Amino acid sequence: MPHAHILLVMAKDVDDRTPRYVDEYLSAEIPDVPGPDDNSPRAEQQRRLHQLVTSHMLHDCGDWCMVNGKCSKRFPKPFSPFTVLPDDQYPQYKRRSPAREGVVVPEEARHLYGNTHLKKKGAVSILFDNRHVVPYNPYLTLKYGCHLNVEYVGAAKCAEYAFKYVLKGNDRAYVRLQSQGKPKLGKDGLQIVDYDEMEHNFQARYMTAHEAVWRLMGYPIVGLSHTVNVLYVYKPGGRVVFEEGHEEEAARRASKPAKNSLTDFFELCQTDPEAQQYCYHQIGLHYTYAKSGGWKKRKQNVKKTLVRLQSVLPRDRVGYALRLLLLTRVSLRFVVNFALTCLNLWPQKSSQKVQNK
């Protein structure tokens, strides 16, 4: 069905990292129902919101979401008297628990408890509470009158959620073709089965009309403000990867000196005086690395470029030490021999100090 995944960024002067602020825009509870004597426009709007939430925003676990006996959407959610915004987890929205059955709640304490809703599904009646409510924005729910999930993604853990859904691309489906009509019968009266599994099953992608028009008009799908270049820390003696049937080509490539962005950086420092003032992770801001090899002076978009040096785990002592050198040393005109010396001496003589001459 037509749908969209949208990421909204609030204004810079808005402090959106407080539970009170989140409660102003998001709700994960069944709305209150005004009394029967209240016929004001506000009461009518509240009744419509209650009807929409109970119709479209209650998660009913079924076969489609159950994995190993558990809901893949993690419903029902836990009760919570208030909203909690952890730094390293998904938010825990305000979901007040209903009063116990048979307990009479005085009007002044009504705000401490949540609501329930009895919903019929065929011949079965299911009692829902706030644990089953999909988070929503009341204004958007009233405006569009459909299922519209709104989540707070301000925490660090939620970044993966935002990028996953905004950049997920087209939906895909496996389609199986089946013939219709009367089956073919042979002379013996048995049905003739002529079925080619490879021909009748295929993978297809599908998109809605508005998405197709957007692409046909050539509108941008994703906008990037900066280009991020990743520089890798290469060590000598690495494995040679090749495709089966290209062994001779791989052998010739392995017999030649290694050529990559790091070794070319070493050579650049020997010939270019300007490059000698930069560390390895800084060279990408002022030079570009060609696909065919070699660093070339950058001509434009210096401010729109970010460079990240590959991380190396401390247990890889050789790579970790080399990375520290590349992050801190400039003017490495003789770094080729120096780096190789460090790599050869580190495992056997880790306590020996090697100075950069």
Rounded Cα distance between 114 and 128, Å, is: 11
The closest of 169, 261, 255, 273 to 215, measured between CA atoms, is 169
Q: Within 10 Å of residue 57's Cβ, how many Cβ atoms? A: 22
Res. 54 pLDDT band, cuts 50 70 90: very high
Residue 15 has pLDDT above 80, yes or no: no
Q: Could you please report the per-residue DSSP string of 165-197? A: HHS--SEEEEEE----SSPPB-TTSPBP----H
Task: Compute the radius of gyration of the chain from its Cα atoms.
Answer: 31
Lowest mean pLDDT, pick from 234-248, 270-284, 292-306: 234-248
pLDDT above 90 coverage of the chain, percent: 27
Do the beta carbons of residue 28 and residue 133 sit within 8 Å?
Answer: yes
Place of tokens 């992770």: 281
Phi and psi angles of residue 92, each rounded to the nearest 5 degrees, phi first: -110, 105
- 231 membership: H or E segment, kind and range: strand 227-231
Q: Within 10 Å of residue 152's Cβ, how many Cβ atoms? A: 19
Res. 299 pLDDT band, cuts 50 70 90: confident
Bridge partner list, 202: 175
Res. 345 pLDDT band, cuts 50 70 90: very low
Q: So where are the chain's domains? A: 1-99+112-171+196-223, 227-345
Which tens digit of pLDDT belongs to each residue from 119-137? 988 888 999 999 999 999 9
Largest distance between two CA atoms of the chain? 93
Res. 16 pLDDT band, cuts 50 70 90: low
Rounded Cα distance between 241 and 66, Å, is: 41
pLDDT of residue 101: 86
pLDDT of residue 6: 79
Which tens digit of pLDDT belongs to each residue from 215-243? 888 887 777 788 888 998 887 666 667 77
Do the beta carbons of residue 113 and residue 96 sit within 8 Å?
Answer: yes
Q: What average pLDDT score do residues 14-39 get?
A: 89
Which tens digit of pLDDT belongs to each residue from 153-200? 876 566 666 666 655 655 666 665 565 666 677 778 777 766 566 655
Q: Within 10 Å of residue 265's Cβ, how many Cβ atoms? A: 23
Rounded Cα distance between 327 and 108, Å, is: 64
What is the chain's mean pLDDT, rounded? 80
Res. 339 pLDDT band, cuts 50 70 90: low
Beta-strand pair 295-297/117-121? unpaired
The pTM for the full model equals 0.53
pLDDT of residue 350: 39
